[in-house]
Amino acid sequence: MTLANAFNRVVTIPRVAIALLVLLGLVLFRDSLDPTAYYQSKSFVPPTAPIPASEAVSPNATIVTAPSLHASTCLNAPGADKVFVLLKTGATELYSKLPTHLLTLFKCTPHYMLFSDLEQTYSGFPIHDALAPVSQDIRDRHENFELYRKLLQYQREGQDVGLLRGDTGWNLDKWKFLPMLFQSFEEAPEEIEWFVMIEADTSVSWNNLLLWLGTMKGATKPYYMGAQNVIGDTTFAHGGSGVIISWQAARQLQAVRGKEGKEAYDKRWEILTAESCCGDEVIARALLEANVPLKPSWPVIQGETVATLDWTASHWCSVAITWHHVAPIELDALWQFQTQWVDTHGWETPYLYRDVYEHFIDRHVSVNRSSWNNLSQDKKFIAPHLAEGLDEDLTIMSDWEQRSVESEDACAAACDKMRDWGCLQWMFSPGRCYVGRVMRFGKSDEREEEHWASGWMGDRIAEFKKEFEGCKPKWKGVGG
């Protein structure tokens, strides 16, 4: 062995040792900076007595975690077997929106049908063509069916129907409502008492829905319920918020159709659908013809998201059942919240909007947020050089109101002065100060051209919450 080789072998061991010591030091230094790092990287178990060798888990054993109460019982939750859920979607959005529903709500619904504007199978789940019952002549020639014909062409050619996504789907959508209802009536088993129609961006609380429907007699009384909306002389249930129809209401609707004759009835309502803007409005008119008017159910059934909802006295103590315009990630978060709720409280206890607020919103409104639009809109202070049309003249207002458009702090100070007016939140952009007397969370505007700073009056929100402590669940809609 040469002297050089001997030297190299001698210094190799210290180098390795030094490297290991440095690495160990970095790990310890990291944990000293972040006390949670250790517990995030390992399963932390409080110290216990040593486990006897006879009870030690084999390194090759499969560890089975007991399912949650919600997961193990949701299919058999009280009343679940009496509900038939209809989900309405479109072929161009199916692959992005349907999977989350299949992994959440439809794991718990014994009876359901999935409707689209194209018959297909998704991962073994049959997707029904809601438009198949529409007259062939209309499907072949009507301008509203241009997308439908294109979808069929793409399906025949094996092309990606997602490429056809666009606004034309709205014109086609209104034709789905009545046909899918009648298809569901024909497929539903005898024990069904309720039909619940939702859309691909609707979130449903399965627990609260079952408890709510359990307070009524769907088998014997004609109920048509949802978030009330008005077009012309028609008051109807907004489709995206969820439409609920009892079995008795369905029977009355079918009776009218049967008496007139299915072919004649369907032909007449196709003409009326062509003239209408919206399928949910068509359903309301058809049910009213069968002597089933709308039973208003807002805010129990409603069409906002957690971020856009106005957290007022109207909502706070009401049972929360539906949300609309919900992205898949939000739908999943709401489902996880429901799962945790049932695991803690069981299937007999509803959660209220108050509980949703406490879980999702409360901790986030304790500080001001930059690049955030909290949807304050009840009063607007706008600098003269930015004012338009009906904007109020800032120059004739008080000094503190005029200063509100100069800085974030000045805008917050203006809201602070407006206690008697009821100011709960504010948002500022140079030259603009908007204030609100209802609490909303809003959303990030980092990707928008205009950026806002937002804040909330924590003491006043606390006063509002205290006013409703211990309130009892409200099951009825306003005017219902």
Q: Binning pLDDT at 50, 70 and 90, where does residue 8 land?
A: very low
**pLDDT of 53 higher than 90:** no
Indicate the average pLDDT of the chain.
Answer: 88
Evaluated on CA atoms 56, 59, 61, 63, the torsion sign reads positive
pLDDT value of residue 218 = 79
Share of the chain above pLDDT 90, in %: 81
pLDDT value of residue 66 = 56
Q: Binning pLDDT at 50, 70 and 90, where does residue 165 land?
A: confident
Domains in the chain (CATH in brackets) are: 72-296 (3.90.550), 367-467 (3.50.4)
Beta bridge partners of 114: 87, 127
pTM of the model: 0.84
**pLDDT of 360 higher than 80:** yes
Share of the chain above pLDDT 70, in %: 85
**pLDDT of 41 higher than 90:** no
Name every residue whose Cβ is closer than 8 Å to that of residue 286 and which is 6 or more positions away in sequence: 178, 253, 256, 269
Residue 474 phi, psi dihedral angles, 5° rounding: -100, 120
Q: Are 453 and 427 in contact (CB under 8 A)?
A: yes
Strands (E), 154-238: 194-199, 203-204, 224-226, 228-231, 234-237
Straight-line distance from the first to the last Cα atom of the chain, in angstroms, rounded to the nearest whole number: 97
**pLDDT of 29 higher than 80:** no
| 73 secondary structure, DSSP code | H
Q: Name the residue among 144, 149, 180 with its Cα closest to residue 282.
A: 180
Q: Binning pLDDT at 50, 70 and 90, where does residue 170 land?
A: confident
**pLDDT of 359 higher than 60:** yes
- The amino acid occupying position 88 is K
